[in-house]
A and B are shown apart, each in its own frame.
Chain A
Amino acid sequence: AQSVTQLGSHVSVSEGALVLLRCNYSSSVPPYLFWYVQYPNQGLQLLLKYTTGATLVKGINGFEAEFKKSETSFHLTKPSAHMSDAAEYFCAVIRSGGYQKVTFGTGTKLQVIP
């Protein structure tokens, strides 16, 4: 069964500092991986996704993630945090069995300190 683990339920960074949100996955099939962001009082929206091809994936708002098969990781990074990045971030993996079902991680809340 596919699963994801997000290390750290809360992460604080200073404005302008590097953002690193960690995600490790478990999958018995080639994984398809996503990062979603949830701003306060809103639904989730896609930041980026990895399906096949290039292992470094660029997303919206300057975020990127690197798929590392040997480490079973898909960490999310941004070189310089902005106040508007304060949100909750979810890593997700497509489940086997079709129908585009996914398993979500438990989420990481990012706080950006001015």
Chain B
Amino acid sequence: DVKVTQSSRYLVKRTGEKVFLECVQDMDHENMFWYRQDPGLGLRLIYFSYDVKMKEKGDIPEGYSVSREKKERFSLILESASTNQTSMYLCASSIKRGLPYEQYFGPGTRLTVT
């Protein structure tokens, strides 16, 4: 079974803090994604990576950055957390090529910025 793990289930940070969210997958997937999930808005893509050290902006990258130094690990960084970044953050991974493959999701990190 594909396993995608996220470093924390719940996180509380203060405004202005630098926040790191870590995601690890164990199936050698090339693609990794970071989403935020808000009620009524569904999932919105923040960033994705299709290979080590490769990244592309998604739909809402402002205020976020990412790092992918190893294939299995994809980090989301909030350089200076703000209250409007309070949300559920979901990491996912998938195979890169071929027929459309599903994305495998981690359990999510619920981040509260106070």
Residues of A at under 8 Å CB distance from B?
A: 9, 32, 34, 36, 41-46, 49, 51-52, 90, 94, 99-102, 104-107
Contact = CB atoms under 8 A, between A and B. Distances in A.
B61 to A, nearest CB: 13
Given A99-B31, A105-B42, A51 B48 contact: no
B74 interface: no
A90 B42 contact: yes
A2 B43 CA distance: 15
Given A9-B40, A105-B42, A51 B100 contact: yes
B96 A100 contact: yes
A42 B105 CA distance: 9
Nearest to B108: A43
B: interface residue count bin: 20 to 34
A94 B100 contact: yes
Given A43-B107, A100-B103, 8 more contacts: A42-B107, A43-B4, A43-B92, A44-B105, A45-B105, A101-B45, A104-B44, A105-B42
A72 B31 CA distance: 28
B42 A49 contact: no
Contacts of A90: 42-43
Contacts of B102: 34, 36, 46, 49
7 contacts: A34-B100, A43-B4, A43-B107, A49-B100, A100-B101, A101-B58, A106-B42
A99 B105 contact: no
B64 interface: no
Interface in B55-75: 56, 58
A42 B107 CA distance: 5
A99 B48 contact: yes
Nearest to A52: B99
Contacts of A102: 103
B77 interface: no
Contacts of A101: 33, 45, 48, 58
